[in-house]
Amino acid sequence: MQSTSHAFKDNARAALANQTLQKAMRHVKTGFIDKRAKARARLPEFDALRDVARDIKNHTLANLDFYLERYEEKVIASGGQVHWAPTAEDAVKAVLDICRRVDARVVTKGKSMISEEIALNQAMERAGLDVVETDLGEYIIQLRKEPPSHIIAPAVHLTKEQVEADFRHHHRELPPERALGEPVQLVAEARQMLRRRFLEADVGITGANFLVAETGTSIIVTNEGNGDLTQTLPRVHIVVASLEKVVPTLEDVSTILRVLARSATGQEFSSYTTFSTGPRRPEDPDGPEEYHVILLDNGRSNMLGGQFQDMLRCIRCGACMNHCPVYHAVGGHAYGWVYPGPMGAVLTPNLIGVDEAGHLPNASTFCGRCEAVCPMRIPLPKMMRHWREREFERHLTPATVRSGLALWAFFARRPKLYRFATGLQARLLGRLGRAAGRFDALPFARGWTRHRDFPAPEGRTFQQLWAERQKGGRR
Amino acid sequence: MSSARQQILASVRRSLRRAEPSAETRAELEQRLAAPTANLIPQRAQLPHAEQLDLMEAMLQELKATVVRLPGEAAVPQAVADYLKSENLPPKLRLAPRDDLRHLPWDSAPLLEVEEGIAEADDATSLTGAFAGIAETGTLMMASGPEAPTTLNFLPENHIVVLRTSQVIGSYEEAWQRLRAALGPGVMPRAVNMITGPSRTGDIEQTILLGAHGPRRLHVLLVDDRDSG
């Protein structure tokens, strides 16, 4: 998809002023957080499992070449095929080649962020295929021709009134007087509309939450059952997965599954966790005749061994964005590409470049909630800091910020001067602000005071207070 | 061997700053795959069997599935008929083609219309067995095969499952052990479906609703088979 990450500031400003979006986002701020907290409290081993999950992925990444080769061997042994795709274009081409060879017309899809990353739907539509998203949220945004705004809840930015309007507009064959005001009616209508499409599809495409090297298995984790209908009913099942999804054994994946759903939706386990290994066996009464895996790199192998390797542990649960005050405020579309929130702020510059996505690592207050809730213990704030450093080194930071930082660095390198200057500043501001206790305007700080007051200092600096407290004994 | 494959593997090794894994490392990793060991298993998954049955039942109910305990498999046909009647569903079943279900005393529920096979588009209710019941999260594990078509788990709006008490275990890891014992190490059926409650969605304003695309109702008949061994 075409990125608008470079326009993050404008996107965010528009999002803050969008009343409908703000109304829809209210559900995100409490729902996900409460549910995760409850699920965590119910499983005393939860945090210990996070450590184990992290170690499993670290081990896998350190031996990724071995596990990828073993995974491929097992897929082939079970009658499936693996298509290695260094770039997004390679992956799209592999999918289109298969669709062409089997003379496909209708293609159903389970939810897949990788297919968003490689812009698969657009390419398939250009090739004349009838592409149908079957996850309810994805179906809604496909009708609206929008990208997802959340990695597990793609339509979280919409209200039920908007969905009702879309359904009335697109489902013209249904009686216009039907009741459609409640979510239960909307879900029933989507079920009815998509049922026919599941049955007529020639090819089903899903993503993968995990790939298992031990058995050559791909795994999808869903709640609706659409992914299973997508991959069971058509003649051909294509899995699009990125290469860091591999884990060694079924035991390893079981450990990670224990933290996935709890972190994502607060469920103990998602409704459907499906392990697919190859095509239909000779004696099987149903299932696809062909099974293909598109194994995508698209820049990930370059992240190994460097500052961003930890990001490859990500299992796409969405907990980081569910807990992010910036995501809550602006929603997912403001980030401008496929992956929003803290995980997107780290991953997007890796995949499409810091020149395009340099604003995203700055869209954080470093409050640390994302890292605190990450089931894979990914140090997201640290990695956002790495991007900020690179941005600075590459002179992508605006001139005013650079000169401001240079001025601050001049003082910071000279401790006596720093103490003198900050002491002076604190005394001066303390005296000037004593009456009001705050400033509603300050020179050089308009960026702050435009939207909120600046609290007046009480006359002494942090360092002075600290020194006094040390002298007076710890209280 | 494709060049794309070589290109990706070379890039992985370049980033990891090493050549192909040494024979020694390879042997260690092969061993890890050949003899998989369990990681941390929660206490909740390690209860005595009687408590596991209770946990299985409690978790299923929490998930908005329904459970009935039956003293033996002979009670299944009548229990199915009762359930369909209580939910106002047509007395028609699509049965998984397996001997133990086929040979149930269906005569005891004469109004039930029972047909075997894979799911058809207009089937309202399916009846299947299960490979295991995992008490930890109330999860049913289905292993596909000639006796267990996958479509029966997803296409009908109502799914009834016969689960035997001897099939109820504590953890996912125990289920993998049982599967390996049944099929051989490293071998999987085409599909293993872990089913945890009915189909659901929260995609519209985070309102959780049942029956998005898969079954709206999941009904488990927990059959006591402790005496039959």
Q: Give A291's strand partners.
A: A237
Inter-chain residue contact B40 with A199, CB threshold 8 Å: no
| Interface test with chain A among B8, B41, B176, by most A beta carbons within 10 Å | B8
Give the gap in angstroms from C-alpha B113 to the nearest C-alpha of chain A: 22
Q: Which residues pair with A274 in a beta bridge?
A: A220, B193
Alpha carbons A209 and A215: distance in angstroms, whole number: 15
Contact at CB, B214 and A228, closer than 8 angstroms = yes
Nearest CB partner across the interface for B201, out of A65, A187, A254: A187
Question: What's the CA gap between A59 and B61, in Å, rounded?
Answer: 38
Q: Which of B40, B155, B207 has its CB closest to that of A183?
A: B207
pLDDT band at A61 (very low <50, low <70, confident <90, very high): very high
> Residues A273, A206: contact at Cβ < 8 Å?
no
Q: Which 3 state secondary structure label does DSSP give B194? A: strand
The pLDDT tens digits of the residues spanning B120-152 come to 999 999 999 999 999 999 999 999 999 999 999
Where does residue A406 rank: exposed (0-12), middle (13-18), buried (19+ CB within 10 A)?
exposed
> A389 pLDDT exceeds 60?
yes
Closest among B218, B224, B168 to B62, alpha carbons compared: B218
Between A28 and B170, the higher pLDDT residue: B170
Output phi, psi for B95, to 5 deg.
Answer: -95, 140
Helix (H, G, I), strand (E, B) or coil at A421: helix
What is the token pair recorded at A221? 């984790």
**Would you place residue B227 in the very low, low, confident or very high pLDDT band (cuts 50, 70, 90)?**
low
With beta carbons less than 8 A apart as the criterion, state whether A254 and B176 touch: yes
Cβ contact B33–A214 (<8 Å):
yes
Residue of B155, B179, B204 to mutate for A, most A C-beta atoms under 10 A: B204
Q: Do B13 and A155 lie within an 8 Å CB cutoff? A: no
Tell me whether B126 touches chain A (CB under 8 Å): no
Write the CB contacts of A251 (distance below 8 Å, at least 6 apart in sequence).
B36, B37, B38, B39, B173, B176
Q: Average of pLDDT values for A52-65?
A: 98
CA distance A458 to A218: 61
Cβ A437 vs Cβ A453: under 8 Å: no
Q: CB distance from B26 to chain A under 8 Å? A: yes
A contacts of B138 (beta carbons < 8 Å): 268-269
Average pLDDT over residues A101-108: 98
A184 CB near a chain B CB, below 8 Å? yes
Nearest to A116 by CA among A268, A240, A32: A240
User: Å from B72 to nearest chain A CA?
Assistant: 28
The mean predicted confidence, pLDDT, of chain A is 94
DSSP 8-state class, residue B107: G
In a 3-state reduction of DSSP, which class is residue B27? helix
A163 to chain B, closest Cα gap in Å = 8
pLDDT in the model for residue B226:
81
Inter-chain CB proximity B145 and A283 less than 8 Å: yes
Contact list, A303 vs chain B (CB under 8 Å): 15
Sign of torsion over alpha carbons A102, A108, A110, A116: positive
Are the Cβ atoms of B9 and A86 closer than 8 angstroms? Answer: no
Contacts of A21 in chain B (CB under 8 A): none
Which residues touch A4 (CB under 8 Å, ≥6 apart)?
A11, A336, A337
Task: Find residues 62-121 of chain B whose CB sits inside 8 Å of chain A.
Answer: 97, 117-119, 121
pLDDT digit string, tens, across residues B61-91: 999 999 999 999 999 999 999 999 999 999 9
pLDDT 10s digits, B10-39: 999 999 999 999 999 999 999 999 999 999
Strands in A94-173 per DSSP E: 106-109, 130-133
Instruction: With beta carbons less than 8 A apart as the criterion, state whether A1 and A116 touch.
Output: yes
CB B49 within 8 A of CB B164: no
Give the Cα separation of A225 and B218 in Å (integer): 13
Please answer yes or no on whether A183 and B176 come within 8 Å at the CB atom: no
**B114/A198 Cα distance (integer angstroms):** 25
In A387-446, the residues whose Cβ lies within 8 Å of chain B are none
First-last CA distance in chain A: 56
Stronger pLDDT, A468 or A267, i.e. the higher one: A267
**Mean pLDDT for the stretch of residues A290-303:** 98
Name the residue of chain A whose CA is nearest to B16's CA. A305
Amino acid (1-letter code) at residue A16:
L
Taking phi over 0 as left and psi of -120 to 50 as alpha, with beta for the rest, A2 belongs to beta
Amino acid B181 reads A
At A453 the pLDDT is 87
What ipTM was reported for this prediction? 0.97
Of A232, A251, A286, the CB nearest to B39: A251
pLDDT higher for A81 or A407? A81
What is the nearest CA distance from A126 to chain B, expressed in angstroms?
25
Is the pLDDT confidence value at B229 over 50? no
A354-373 tens-digit pLDDT: 999 999 999 999 999 999 99
CA A72 to chain centre: 27
Question: Smallest Cα–Cα separation from A264: which of A140, A153, A138, A348?
Answer: A153
Q: CB of A215 within 8 A of CB of B186? A: yes
Collect all residues with Cβ–Cβ distance below 8 Å to A244 and sequence separation of at least 6: A61, A64, A300, A312, A313
Beta strands in A64-172 (DSSP E): 81-85, 106-109, 130-133
Q: Strands A130-133, B139-143: parallel, antiparallel or unpaired by DSSP?
A: unpaired
Nearest-Å Rg of the Cα atoms of chain A is: 25
Taking a C-beta distance cutoff of 8 angstroms, is the pair B36, A249 a contact?
Answer: yes
Q: What are the structure tokens assigned to A446, written together?
A: 């308009």
CA A361 – CA A347 distance, rounded (Å): 10
Q: Answer yes or no: do B203 and A49 touch at CB < 8 A.
A: no
- To probe the interface with A, which of B151, B190, B196, B210 has the most A CB atoms within 10 Å? B190
Portion 68-127 of A in contact with B at CB < 8 A = 68-70, 72, 74, 78, 83-86, 90
Collapse the DSSP code of A374 into the 3-class scheme (helix H, G, I; strand E, B; otherwise coil) and give the result.
coil
> Predicted confidence band at A185 (pLDDT cuts at 50, 70, 90)?
very high
Cβ contact B186–A215 (<8 Å): yes
